Amino acid sequence: MRLANKTAIITGGGSGIGKASAKFFHREGANVVLFGRRKHKLEETVQELGSRALAIEGDMCQSTDLDRLVQETQSTFKRIDILVNNAGIFKGAPLHEVSDDQYDEIMNINMTAVFQLTRKVLPVMMEQKGGSIIHISSILGIIAVPQVAVYNISKGAMNQLNRSIAVEYGSYGIRSNSICPGLIKTDMTADLMSDETLMQEWSKEYPIGRFGKPEDVANACLFLASDESSFITGTILPVDGGFTAH
């Protein structure tokens, strides 16, 4: 029960890394609030969890939806101890062919919305004198690969937001850490991972010999959410099977 009496918000909580983290957090005693656009996915997860779980449908890019998320979480559970910024999109195109609309879509979801929600949660944590914010970034926030420049940019910016929070709000007992997954089998990567030839080639870059599962990232989230990591803040943690080690 490492998260007993704590309340966690997890964006994109109906599937993949968000759902796996919700299950782990709930198992360890946390109240869990799942936020996202796919209501049926959120409700399915809440039904699996049972009590101490709440689904809130909304759009990360709508400020009023984010306000409602924070307000309903406080109204139901009275506090916010953990924020997992997990929601995001992955799209690619050659940099010179990216339209303004395509750039805005990726940056708005992967970075601007994360900034806005974090800004709304911080005053709650400041008043409580504590909290843990976990950003689900990517190894592409550390390195770059072709054809996904805007995604690379968005995750690099997320890592800098993480550091900024750590140095600015540490005196309030607020910690901030980024997790940078390698290739993880989720709904978002399903189309990409259906290319068997490409996957055989990419697997050579993973020293541990496999791609990741949502649970691999959820375990890291659980550690950073718990008091076991109370002296860890501002870190950028690859969870990538050794991809970025070479």
Residue 229: closest CA among 242, 220, 240, 218: 220
Q: What is the DSSP letter of 186?
A: S
Q: Is 151 a catalytic residue?
A: yes
Catalytic residue, candidates 151, 169, 172, 206:
151
- Tokens found for residue 9: 């918000």
- Tokens found for residue 99: 């339209």
- d(C-alpha 49, C-alpha 45), whole Å: 6
Q: Exposed, middle or buried: residue 43 (CB in 10 Å: 0-12, 13-18, 19+)? A: middle
Positions annotated as catalytic residues are 151
